[in-house]
Amino acid sequence: YLGNAELIGTFKSEHKISSIKDLQSNRIINTLRRRPCTVSDLQQALNLRPAEIQKYLNLLQSKGKIETEKRERGTFFKVKADT
């Protein structure tokens, strides 16, 4: 029950996201565009479980959108330069 609530307009999304998979993949890509990240970095930034992050990273790698780089602190994921 909303009482005296008044509808003042409809919500229009700027971007149409077809699924949660696309939403999460886009969140990861946008984060990686800022800087390369480890799974742990992404977990902290996006508040997702490591297994879920790894699932999306595998998907993005299979699509050729991201690549890995071994560094002292571990394996970092980054957006491919041509993406």
Q: What is the pLDDT of residue 67?
A: 97
- Nearest one of 27, 67, 60 to 43, comparing CA atoms: 27
- The per-residue pLDDT for range 5-29, each reduced to its tens digit, is 555 555 455 455 568 788 899 999 9
- The per-residue pLDDT for range 24-76, each reduced to its tens digit, is 999 999 999 999 999 999 999 999 999 999 999 999 999 999 999 999 999 99
Largest Cα span, the chain: 59
Q: What is the pLDDT of residue 21?
A: 82
Q: What is the pLDDT of residue 9?
A: 53
What is the C-alpha separation between 55 and 63, in angstroms, rounded? 13
Q: What is the pLDDT of residue 8?
A: 56
